């Protein structure tokens, strides 16, 4: 299951449950999205031919999307619109994923949790690429 988290006409995030997809390749994102998120399910002995992905000219909006996968534990995510107003919250458990498309987020860890994070680089370690909401 995929749940769109919206604020008005803006899609803030996609929450992708651990049981999304079925046999084959299924993408949660549109073809136009700069960060493609999909699930590939195959059986033992299936083969995907060896290949590489060719370079392309990428023209995205400059918004840095972020993908998070809950490896273990449980986390409550609070979603914010671009102005920093709280929109809603969802709890994600082991195996669930989140694609933050726009707006912002905050996290409250309800259990010891391990997240995998993927985002477009380069990433600054100086802390000047985040706007904090108070």
Q: Is residue 87 part of a domain?
A: yes
Residue 3 pLDDT = 93
Q: Is residue 134 part of a domain?
A: no
- Beta-sheet pairing, 86-93 with 74-80: antiparallel
Confidence of residue 60 (pLDDT cuts 50, 70, 90): low
Number of domains within the chain: 1
Q: What confidence tens digit (pLDDT) does each residue in 71-102 have?
A: 999 999 999 998 999 999 999 999 999 999 99
Please report the sign of the dihedral spanned by the C-alpha atoms of residue 77, residue 81, residue 84, residue 88.
negative
Q: Is residue 131 part of a domain?
A: no
Q: What CATH number is attached to the domain comprising 31?
A: 2.60.120
Q: Is residue 57 part of a domain?
A: no
Q: Is residue 51 part of a domain?
A: no
Q: What confidence tens digit (pLDDT) does each residue in 13-33 have?
A: 999 999 888 888 888 888 888
Q: Which two tokens stand for residue 115?
A: 């997240």
Q: How far apart are CA 89 and CA 69, in angstroms?
A: 16
Residue 89 lies in domain: 2-43+63-119
Residues 6+ apart with CB under 8 A from 16: 1, 2, 28, 37, 39, 96, 97, 98, 99
pTM equals 0.84
Q: Is residue 31 part of a domain?
A: yes
């Amino acid at each position: 299951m995929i749940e769109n988290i919206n604020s008005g006409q803006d899609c803030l995030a996609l929450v992708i449950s651990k049981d999304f997809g079925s046999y084959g390749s299924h993408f949660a994102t549109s073809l136009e999205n700069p960060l493609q998120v999909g699930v590939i399910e195959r059986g033992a002995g299936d083969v995907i031919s060896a290949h590489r992905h060719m370079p392309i000219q990428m023209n995205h909006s400059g918004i840095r999307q972020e993908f998070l996968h809950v490896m273990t534990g449980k986390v409550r995510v609070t979603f914010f619109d671009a102005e920093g107003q709280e929109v809603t919250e969802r709890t994600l458990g082991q195996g669930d994923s989140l694609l933050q498309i726009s707006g912002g987020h905050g996290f409250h860890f309800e259990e010891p949790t391990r997240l995998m994070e993927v985002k477009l680089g380069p990433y600054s370690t100086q802390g000047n690429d985040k706007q904090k909401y108070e």
